[in-house]
Amino acid sequence: MIDHKRLPQWLRFGRAALAAGLALTAAVVPFTATAATSVTLMAEAADTPPGFHLADLWRYLALHMATARLAEWRFEPAVGKGSSPDRVEWTFKLNPYAGGEVRRFMRPHMAERIFGVHRPITIEARLYLNGEYEALVEKQVVIQGGPNDPDLAKAVASLTQDFLGPAGAYRTIDTGQRPAYAPR
């Protein structure tokens, strides 16, 4: 058995410092590990833009959300509507336009497929964390539609960055600051 009173002063202090250091490490490490982990968000949609089936759209959204390269977030396609408490719900609304929509001589989807019509749409993304609604972001873009449309892919990645990025809308909820936009 060691008599701690007979140890030299520097060794007694070193032992106390070691114990304090271990306690501090135990308190800090779980916090650091939690901050370093990423949250997995499920990508789901209530409706589809032109050229998509709903099941294909969920995979497409998860893929292009990941191109925003946000380290704190991971994106997976949803397994069922509203199934995950951590999710982003996408909505696509066709905007009216002055393209002569008074008369139609063929079905709209057939005309879009044949002529490659670019349509203005409004894209909305709603964030839910732990089943609670957090924020909404929307953007208006002009797309052709379908999985090969570069404008739609760019819009999904851009909206994800504007939403969840370091200067995004979700970050401004807690701080009360306005997002910083780069000069155009």
CATH topology classification for 38-175: Rossmann fold (3.40.50)
Flag whether pLDDT at 98 surpasses 70: no
Domain boundaries, the chain: 38-175
Tell me, what's the pLDDT at 55?
77
Residue 17 pLDDT > 60, yes or no? no
The two three-digit tokens of residue 118, written as one number: 């670019």
Q: In the prediction, which pLDDT does 87 show?
A: 92
31 pLDDT band, cuts 50/70/90, is very low
The pLDDT tens digits for 106-162 are 555 555 555 456 788 999 999 999 989 888 899 999 988 888 999 999 999 999 998
pLDDT tens for each residue of 59-89:
999 999 999 888 889 999 988 776 789 999 9
**Does the predicted TM-score (pTM) go above 0.85?**
no
Going by pLDDT thresholds of 50, 70 and 90, the confidence category of residue 27 is very low
Q: Pick 90 or 102 by higher pLDDT.
A: 90
